[in-house]
């Protein structure tokens, strides 16, 4: 008697081996979609970055292993220097330095800028460096405490991405979000992730998380501003 078919066992058996095969199963992109890409930070890109409070930074190491890191701050925390360059401050984090190490090893990066409440996003590709130039770091004085370093990026491609993914996911629609009671806490997720349930409860780890967040966020502010 044959075993019932389990699609999970053959999930990656039917792989596409060429871009021609890939293009054969999709309709061609409309000219308007292809034409919206630009090689500079035009006024639309600058306005988007000035309003953005969150950006995802994609990097890879010298062996091609990928990483994506979230970066957040007040509107305009990413500074546009000119039509081709921008700078992201490296604010307080966990000091793994994954993204910074990757940028030093392999400078090609991808960025996805988000504005709260807006479904469209801004996608940028370019080459990056880690800078400790005093004039660059001073750009963040006043609103933030001067960072130890910043990521400078020279833009090669930029375009606005449509809102379909955010709408499908209901990202800005609170009525579609899972209830607090229906999902685990961040503390419990981390306990389960790390296997530390024998020494920590999810509730206690949640408390430690909040204490750490408060300390790191306060350290982002200038010394003369209240946290």
Q: What secondary structure, in 3-state letters, does 164-188 show?
A: HHHHHHCCCCHHHCCCHHHCCCHHH
Q: Is-contact 119 172, C-beta < 8 A?
A: yes
Topology at the third CATH level for domain 31-168: Pnp Oxidase; Chain A (2.30.110)
Per-residue pLDDT of the chain (227 residues; tens, 9 = 90+): 566 667 677 778 889 999 999 999 999 988 877 777 899 999 999 999 999 999 999 999 999 999 999 999 999 999 999 999 999 999 988 889 999 999 999 999 999 999 999 999 999 999 999 999 999 999 999 889 999 999 999 999 999 999 999 999 999 999 999 888 878 889 999 999 988 878 889 889 899 999 999 999 999 999 766 55
Q: Is 90 exposed, middle or buried (0-12, 13-18, 19+ CB in 10 A)?
A: middle
Residue range(s) in the chain whose domain bears CATH number 2.30.110.10: 31-168
pTM, 2 dp: 0.90
């Amino acid at each position: 008697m044959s075993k019932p078919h389990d699609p999970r066992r053959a999930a990656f058996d039917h792989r596409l081996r060429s871009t021609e095969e890939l293009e054969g199963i999709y309709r061609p992109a409309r000219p308007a979609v292809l034409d919206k890409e630009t090689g500079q930070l035009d006024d639309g890109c600058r306005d988007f970055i000035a309003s953005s409070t969150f950006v995802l930074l994609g990097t890879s190491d010298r062996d091609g292993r990928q990483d994506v890191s979230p970066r957040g701050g007040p509107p305009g925390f990413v500074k546009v220097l000119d039509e081709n360059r921008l700078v992201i401050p490296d604010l307080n984090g966990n000091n793994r330095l994954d993204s910074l190490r990757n940028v030093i090893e392999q400078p090609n990066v991808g960025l996805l800028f988000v504005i709260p409440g807006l479904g469209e996003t801004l996608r940028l590709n370019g080459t990056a460096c880690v800078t400790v130039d005093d004039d660059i770091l001073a750009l963040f004085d006043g609103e933030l405490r001067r960072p130890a370093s910043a990521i400078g990026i020279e833009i090669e491609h930029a375009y606005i991405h449509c809102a379909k993914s955010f709408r499908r996911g209901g990202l800005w629609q609170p009525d579609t979000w899972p209830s607090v009671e229906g999902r685990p806490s961040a503390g419990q997720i981390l306990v389960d992730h790390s296997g530390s349930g024998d020494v920590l409860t999810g509730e206690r780890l949640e408390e430690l998380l909040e204490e750490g967040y408060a300390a790191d966020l306060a350290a982002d502010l200038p010394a003369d501003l209240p946290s």
